[in-house]
Amino acid sequence: MYIWQRDGWPNLSWNDPQLAAALTQANKKESRLLGKMEALGFAMQGEACLQTLTQDVVKSSEIEGEKLDSDQVRSSIARRLGMDIAGLVPSDRNVEGVVEMMLDATQNYPQALTEERLFAWHAALFPTGFSGMQIINAGCWRTDNAGPMQVISGPVGRERVHYEAPPAEQIPNEITRFLNWFNAPADIDPLLKAGLAHLWFVTIHPFDDGNGRIARAITDMALAQGEGSPQRSYSMSAQIRLERKDYYALLESSQKATLDITAWQAWFLDCLTRAIDDAQIVLGTALKKAHFWEKMAKESLNERQILVLQRVMREDWEGKLTSSKWATLARCGQATAGRDINDLIKKGVLRKDEGGGRSTSYSIVVDGQ
Residue 14 lies in a domain: yes
Verify that 265 and 132 share a domain, yes or no: yes
Containing structural domain, residue 342: 299-364
Asked whether residue 287 is assigned to any structural domain, the reply reads: no
Residue 161 corresponds to which amino acid?
Answer: V
Tell me the pTM: 0.82
Q: What is residue 368's predicted lDDT score, i.e. its pLDDT?
A: 54
Predicted confidence pLDDT, tens digits, the chain (369 residues): 999 999 999 999 999 999 999 999 999 999 999 988 887 777 778 888 888 999 999 999 999 989 999 999 999 999 999 988 767 889 999 899 999 999 999 999 999 999 999 999 999 999 988 888 889 989 999 999 989 999 988 887 888 999 999 999 999 999 999 999 999 998 999 999 999 999 999 999 999 999 999 999 999 999 999 999 999 999 999 999 999 999 999 999 999 999 999 999 999 999 999 999 999 877 777 677 777 877 888 888 999 999 999 888 877 788 889 999 999 999 999 999 999 999 999 999 999 998 766 678 999 987 655
How far out from the chain centre does Cα 213 lie? 9
Which CATH number covers residue 314? 1.10.10.10
Same domain, 276 and 310: no
Distance separating alpha carbons of residues 43 and 62, to the nearest angstrom: 29
CATH number assigned to the domain comprising residue 88: 1.10.3290.10
CA 174 to CA 158: how far, in whole Å?
31
In this structure, are residues 58 and 81 in contact, taking their beta carbons and an 8 Å threshold?
A: no
* Residue 196 shares a structural domain with residue 263: yes
223 assigned to some structural domain: yes
**214 and 350 part of one domain:** no
Are both 59 and 184 inside the same structural domain?
A: yes
| pLDDT for res 196 | 98
Is the same domain home to 273 and 316? Answer: no
The pLDDT of residue 358 is: 65
**Domain shared by 251 and 341, yes or no:** no
Domain shared by 123 and 185, yes or no: yes
Task: Give the pLDDT of residue 325.
Answer: 93
Q: Are residues 80 and 116 in the same domain?
A: yes
Task: Identify the domain boundary among 251, 282, 313.
Answer: 282
Q: How many domains does the chain have?
A: 2
- Which pLDDT score, from 0 to 100, does residue 356 have? 61
Rg of the chain on CA atoms, in Å = 23
